[in-house]
Amino acid sequence: ETGVTQTPRHLVMGMTNKKSLKCEQHLGHNAMYWYKQSAKKPLELMFVYSLEERVENNSVPSRFSPECPNSSHLFLHLHTLQPEDSALYLCASSQAGLGSGANVLTFGAGSRLTVL
Amino acid sequence: GQNIDQPTEMTATEGAIVQINCTYQTSGFNGLFWYQQHAGEAPTFLSYNVLDGLEEKGRFSSFLSRSKGYSYLLLKELQMKDSASYLCAVVIYNQGGKLIFGQGTELSVKP
């Protein structure tokens, strides 16, 4: 596999469920990101990991919990979500992390989350 | 605050030329990206401008004027496959290279 792979592609969950989104990059990049994409809204940066260390937490509610066990894998753990959290969650990676100037992001295709 | 504006939707005809504008007011600037996103797919990198002027890459060109806070993406010889959302994103230098995205422009190419 090449690029950035996200699973699952679609997820429906109730407000009391616990689920996780997974992202894997096969590019040898050092930084990984979670973005939220809601309809008709700009992409919102949620979290950034650089060399497995979280370097950005963009005032995201604690019901979203990221995990980066190594430089190739990134998870987003979901717990007690609200219907307004329904969105497309995009993972991305870049060669260098924040503070390294402009980085070209390589995105995954996203996980479409619906919270009932 | 940070503000990036793009038209929400545009329609153009196959074979024509279309220009998608992006204006920004940001605190700090270290370049501007354009990404293309087809429905249900990942955004993909199109161009990056940090200096004023025009960058040409095949049918696609991107222009930047830092003094005016303005960029555009020019698509020539439009094809049906160019129907997609086009995302403008500014690199905020004083925020460690963070990307701030516009809401995207949905382009529909009609025969």
* CB-based contact B91 A101, cutoff 8 Å: yes
- Considering only CA atoms, which of A5, A47, A51 is closest in space to residue A30? A51
Categorize the per-residue pLDDT at B80 as very low, low, confident or very high, splitting at 50, 70 and 90: very high
Write the pLDDT tens digit of every residue in A14-63. 888 899 999 999 999 989 999 999 988 899 999 989 877 777 777 899 99
**C-beta separation of B27 from B36 below 8 A:** no
One-letter amino acid at B96 equals G
* CB-based contact B43 A90, cutoff 8 Å: yes
Asked whether residue A88 carries a pLDDT value surpassing 90, the answer given is: yes
Other Cβ atoms within 10 Å of B47 Cβ, number: 19
Q: Pick B42's closest partner by Cβ from A98, A100, A108.
A: A108
DSSP 8-state symbol, A52: T
Which chain B residue is nearest to residue A48, measuring alpha carbons? Answer: B98
The separation between CA A111 and the C-alpha centre of its own chain, rounded to angstroms, equals 9
Phi–psi pair at A84, nearest 5 degrees: -70, -5
DSSP 8-state symbol, A105: -
Q: Pick A100's closest partner by Cβ from B33, B35, B97.
A: B97
Instruction: Identify the sign of the CA torsion A111, A113, B3, B7.
Output: positive
| CA of B34 vs chain A CAs: smallest distance (Å) | 10
- Considering only CA atoms, which of A75, A2, A74, A90 is closest in space to residue B42? A90
| CA of A6 vs chain B CAs: smallest distance (Å) | 10
Q: Pick A43's closest partner by Cβ from B31, B44, B101.
A: B101
DSSP 8-state symbol, A85: G
Angle in degrees, CA A70, A72, A76, rounded to 5: 80
Tell me what the pLDDT averaged over chain B comes to. Answer: 93
Write the pLDDT tens digit of every residue in B17-44. 999 999 999 888 889 999 999 998 999 9
**Chain A residues closer than 8 Å to B3 by CB:** none
**Chain B residues closer than 8 Å to A55 by CB:** 96
